[in-house]
Structure 1
């Protein structure tokens, strides 16, 4: 597994460094990657996380400018989600009979359940969850979410998403260099950091309940508030 990640990291690093000398080509590449990763179902095939983490590393090294790349990523993410919404809105349930969507019916069903549970918040939350992010905007269109409401959440979440994926690469690069590690480690370390951050944000109540027995009176109050009563009580 590590050898596979090493190979991918090395190839991406060489590729990104190769195009970093051309400002407009770099902008176009990041823009298209961020569109592609958000397109309904097809986004499953676009490895945006390692690309944006390494891009952050190149920004830290001075090979790429931060703001133009950041705004290219934001704009790409907005357009990608808008495309997905439009596809879902136009096709509705017919999407289940159209390739390649018909090959991912289980994922679409999961997206519908997620959207029904979280409503508009699903657009924001779903952008950060691998797999789900490739279907949520399309599901929003299928379920006829008002486009104005969708667009507001789409734009706000795109800014946050781009920052969350680029800034860790920028911040990690200096630290990794200081301990003698190469830029390719940005992908591995960054992916771990983002995964841990997601788990903490998504499961913070459960995590606090695990440590509640060691937190005295405050911990007992959390248990009383959040723990489900046992059967028979």
Structure 2
């Protein structure tokens, strides 16, 4: 951290948005620790890391804008167990709750990076996205930078608590994915069974009509 300086810390945080395995929970406290040692000021640590968060978020925002709803709907039709309606439902939800999702999403592992993409897809105004990202990122970064600044060499304790939050988020995502898969597969099975029953009913009715005496025979 002494070598890369505050600008390097900001670059690392920006890259974390594009490559989530880079842990901001480690980068930010180390920047705070370096600031406590006088390598650079606390203001520089907060300013550069928050700027990196905003820049990285905008990179994914523009990626989402490039994809757009139409392309995502086309992709969804080719993905097993998904359809275009899933994209429509997600877009509708984000249009209703997008501001809260962007703001609070900046404080959650995994979502901190991914939340920028749907914001670009639905066309959230760039200034609104920027302000919400700036506010959420400043809160998140301040917590970790100040932790490193105040705790000093004991900063790894912050990573331990952050890991707990990350595990909780991962578990919630896993449960949500499992629920989606189970409900979607059950829906497909019910649909196929209903189609088979309808086909059998139609065959039975056709057979009954074929065997019934006509008016000419009468």
Partner of 1:223: none
Q: Please give the alpha-carbon distance, in whole angstroms, between the structure 2 residues aligned to 1:70 and 1:92.
A: 33
Partner of 1:179: none
Over the aligned positions, Cα root-mean-square deviation in angstroms equals: 3.1
User: What runs of 5+ residues in structure 2 fail to find an aligned partner?
Assistant: 168-218
Partner of 1:72: 48
- Counterparts in 2 of 1:1-233, with a 5 A limit? 16-17=1-2, 19=3, 25-38=4-17, 42-93=18-69, 94=71, 112=90, 115=94, 118-173=97-152, 183=153, 185-187=154-156, 189-194=157-162
Number of residue-to-residue matches in the alignment: 154
SS at match of 1:46: coil
Partner of 1:208: none
Q: CA deviation at 1:28?
A: 2.6
User: What TM-score comes out, normalization by structure 1 length?
Assistant: 0.56
SS at match of 1:69: helix
Q: CA separation of 1:197/1:90 partners in 2, compared to 1, >3 Å: closer, same or farther?
A: closer
Q: Rg bigger for which structure? A: 2
Q: Please give the alpha-carbon distance, in whole angstroms, between the structure 1 residues aligned to 2:165 and 2:110.
A: 17
Q: CA deviation at 1:193?
A: 4.1
| Deviation sequence 1:11-60 (CA, Å, 0-9, x none) | xxxxx24x1xxxxx41231121121122xxx3313222111112212222
Q: CA deviation at 1:117?
A: 7.2
